[in-house]
Chains A and B, each alone.
Chain A
Amino acid sequence: MENDRLLISHAPHIWGGFSTSKIMFIVVFALLFPTAAAIYYFGLYAIYIILTSIATAVLSEFVIKKLRKKRFIMDGSAVVTGLLLALTLPPRIPLWMVVIGVFFAIAVVKEAFGGLGYNIFNPALAGRAFLSVCFPNEMTSWIIPPHFNYDAITGATPLNDNFTYYADKLSLYKDLFFGNRGGSLGETSVLLILIGAAILLVLRIIDWKIPVIYIGIVALGSFLMGKDILFQIMAGGLMIGAFFMATDYVTSPVTDNGRIIFAVGLGILTILFRNFSNMPEGVCFSILIMNAFVPLMDKYVRIKPFGFVRKKKNA
């Protein structure tokens, strides 16, 4: 050997190389599709919101890490949080509110709990919830996409009680699917959300169980309540919530059974919020509430290990 000093390390000595930052990069890439829809439908101001959000997220994380005397790693998680939060905001929200929401998400929801991996709640959604409470008017002032057929749409987000649609059902579904409707920046185009989700599923970044079961339960619930199933699953933030928010690793369970319970809980809560609360939308709060149960599920929903034999009772 060239040098007498050899390094010592734990087995295994090779590594797959699929790092946290790679995962975050792929998530950002997948999110670019709904982002494109946001910019296409809501114009230049959408870009301002998104850039403000991402910049604030990275900067806050950097500052907080320094205050906590921890190493700042550009692992991309702050970018994901910033982008996700931006996509859940109304299209004309003042930028200073964006800054407040993102700072809350990073400083309080994420870093105060110990940083990436230790946060209980999804930072982006908690940031959005914080803004909804602080600025209820701005957070519910929707616009319709400015350059599309005004005749067909009135009112605000489709799930509002006063939402009315004058054209036939098919073109309503078409508008919902392609994103020609009011709503948060990133939630409108089901098509582009599904393209992003497909990327995550194919690259095995996310598990199909949570989004599929979540959406399935909402569909089932809507059917049982006599609502329009397709309308219910395409309107509002269900799609982006199910594929991009509920599947957040840190705030979802690790075991298959845990994930199933988590998704069923999400579905039931969303149906309850949509039908019985005075809010038009329930995805954000459903996910935050179920987030709180994840530590419990990780503790009690276990896997039967290989070679597990139930202990015989002493008869």
Chain B
Amino acid sequence: MNIVIKKKRAFKGLSLPENKITAKKPIEILPVPDKVVIPLQQNLGAPCQFIVEKGDVVKTGQKIADSQSYVTAPIHASISGKVTRVIKVVNPVTSTMMDSVIIESDGEDNWVELNKLFDIKKSDDFSGLKKIIDSIDRNEIIKKIREAGIVGLGGATFPTHVKLNPPKDKKIDTLILNGCECEPFITSDHRVMLESGREVLMGLYIISKILSPQNIYIAIENNKEDAIIHMEKLAEKMGLASIIKIISLESRYPMGAEKTLIKTITGRTIPIGGLPMDVGVIMNNVATSKSVYEAVIEGKPMIDRIVTVTGAIENPKNLLVRLGTTIDRLIDSCGKTESGANYMIIGGPMMGISIVNTDFPVTKGMNCILVRKSRIPIEQNCINCGRCVSICPMKLMPLVYVRYVKRGDFEVCREYYIENCIECGCCSYVCPANIPIVGYIKTGKNQLLKVVG
């Protein structure tokens, strides 16, 4: 049975040089570090509070922070040992300070007791596994996902249990698993699909039990042909071929962005300011799906993730890293950085954030560390060429924002729907005058938030 469907893009966007140099490199496990730094704010929504104190002894997987709010996800100790200090760390995304704990390892990596219902690495009894999943109550699954601290691993870090529990008046008929990974360089999701395909598909099965949608799609760009074939074979082997469709998509940036992907697959347009659930769609990242499986069936909380370390470095790798490991350890394990490399990015080259130092820890939303040699852009005058307008996937007029943000007329930016911008970076990429358009847009958005409150 052919479950692969080809789809053409439904937006403009760009064709970027892929540079996926780590695509063929199997995931390596980074040794458990002797120290982790765990910040409190690792998800979109409310930050957590610590439930441990300085001097406490914790086990791997023990919950160390939680919150009463609904939109939040608890945080767990990623190694076993002693909480030695509470410090403040600068959040590179928001440039605000956030509380963090330092846990020093006891060298034993003692885990909390996990209630493992099934061993997917060893057993092929998928119908048995499905029966186990079918027997768990929907609310119980959502509770398990929450307790495991799972957030969207594509980068947005929205708490998954909230996403999987949409308001009653939103009818969800389509579930999309996003394995596009349209940013250059990053290969973490690609490797997850190849090496943990079983967990990904069973995670998808669990999510589909919660939402019971009519259509289930796995979206993969056609530059990952091996992943498409692998997922197709696995889906047939696991008896999921009748309910799942795999969508093979043209490689085009930003295919993996929520709005463009939903438009491409379903033809539905998310209204400005709306969410996928407004058009009956829930979308999850493939790595999130894997984590959902581990949480529900293996009882394993979110304490590690896969990070691609790549760019101007001797030996680029895909690493399985404990959360809280500082970035310098990841860099060290990949060999020397090339001479002149003086620029480090968390995330991909299009949307990632450059960081000031390598002391920063790996957090839940971090899928890539990119080392680069700097390019010092010289901003020139806008020549009104209209390239940014013609490629914008959100059909905006990016050059206008530059003009008005420079003047300080932030309100005017709203008339041009600045909040509809997904900050994909296409406009800056094509700008012949080298204007950091997205930088201006971010400034404009922040100023508007301040003005309105």
A residues sitting closer than 8 Å to B (CB atoms) are: 1-16, 18-20, 22-23, 73, 75, 77, 114-118, 207, 249-255, 298, 302-309
Within 8 A of A (CB), among B417-451: 417, 420, 423, 425, 428-430, 432-434, 436, 438-439, 442
Q: When the two chains form their complex, are residues A23 and B385 in contact, meaning their CB atoms are under 8 A apart?
A: yes
A306 and B355 in contact, given A116-B381, A255-B389 (Cβ under 8 angstroms): no
Question: Which A residues are in CB contact (< 8 Å) with B11?
Answer: 306
Q: When the two chains form their complex, are residues B433 and A13 in contact, meaning their CB atoms are under 8 A apart?
A: no
A7 and B430 in contact, given A254-B389, A307-B269, A307-B271 (Cβ under 8 angstroms): no
| Nearest Cβ on chain B to A100's Cβ, whole angstroms | 26
Q: When the two chains form their complex, are residues B271 and A6 in contact, meaning their CB atoms are under 8 A apart?
A: no
CA gap between A75 and B434 in the complex, in Å: 13
A306 and B374 in contact, given A6-B356, A14-B349, A23-B432 (Cβ under 8 angstroms): no
Q: When the two chains form their complex, are residues B272 and A249 in contact, meaning their CB atoms are under 8 A apart?
A: no
Question: Which A residues are in CB contact (< 8 Å) with B428?
Answer: 10-12, 15
B345 and chain A: residue at smallest CB distance: A13
CA gap between A7 and B376 in the complex, in Å: 9
Question: Which B residues are in CB contact (< 8 Å) with A5?
Answer: 342
CA gap between A11 and B372 in the complex, in Å: 13
Q: When the two chains form their complex, are residues B381 and A115 in contact, meaning their CB atoms are under 8 A apart?
A: yes
Q: When the two chains form their complex, are residues B393 and A306 in contact, meaning their CB atoms are under 8 A apart?
A: yes
CA gap between A117 and B375 in the complex, in Å: 24
CA gap between A296 and B382 in the complex, in Å: 17
Interface size class for chain B? Answer: 35 or more
CA gap between A3 and B439 in the complex, in Å: 26
B residues sitting closer than 8 Å to A (CB atoms) are: 11, 14, 16-17, 184, 259, 263, 269-272, 274, 328, 331, 337, 339, 341-345, 347, 349-358, 370-372, 374-377, 380-386, 389, 393-397, 399-400, 416-417, 420, 423, 425, 428-430, 432-434, 436, 438-439, 442
Q: When the two chains form their complex, are residues B430 and A18 in contact, meaning their CB atoms are under 8 A apart?
A: yes
CA gap between A10 and B380 in the complex, in Å: 16
Question: Which B residues are in CB contact (< 8 Å) with A307?
Answer: 259, 269-272, 274, 394, 420
Question: Which A residues are in CB contact (< 8 Å) with B399?
Answer: 254
CA gap between A304 and B374 in the complex, in Å: 37
A-B contact pairs, 28 of them (CB 8 A): A4-B357, A5-B342, A6-B355, A6-B358, A9-B377, A10-B428, A10-B436, A11-B349, A11-B354, A13-B345, A15-B377, A16-B14, A18-B430, A22-B432, A23-B383, A77-B383, A114-B381, A117-B384, A249-B383, A250-B383, A254-B384, A255-B386, A302-B397, A303-B396, A304-B395, A305-B395, A306-B11, A307-B272
| Cβ-neighbour of A19 out of B184, B328, B381, B434 (below 8 A) | B434
Beyond the given A5-B342, A306-B259, please list 17 additional residue pairs across the A-B interface where CB-CB is below 8 A: A1-B342, A2-B341, A9-B354, A10-B436, A11-B351, A11-B352, A14-B184, A16-B14, A116-B381, A117-B381, A249-B386, A253-B386, A254-B389, A302-B416, A305-B395, A305-B417, A306-B272
| Nearest Cβ on chain A to B136's Cβ, whole angstroms | 37
Question: Which A residues are in CB contact (< 8 Å) with B272?
Answer: 305-309
Question: Which A residues are in CB contact (< 8 Å) with B352?
Answer: 11, 13
| Nearest Cβ on chain A to B372's Cβ, whole angstroms | 6
CA gap between A249 and B381 in the complex, in Å: 12
Question: Which B residues are in CB contact (< 8 Å) with A249?
Answer: 383-386
CA gap between A253 and B356 in the complex, in Å: 40
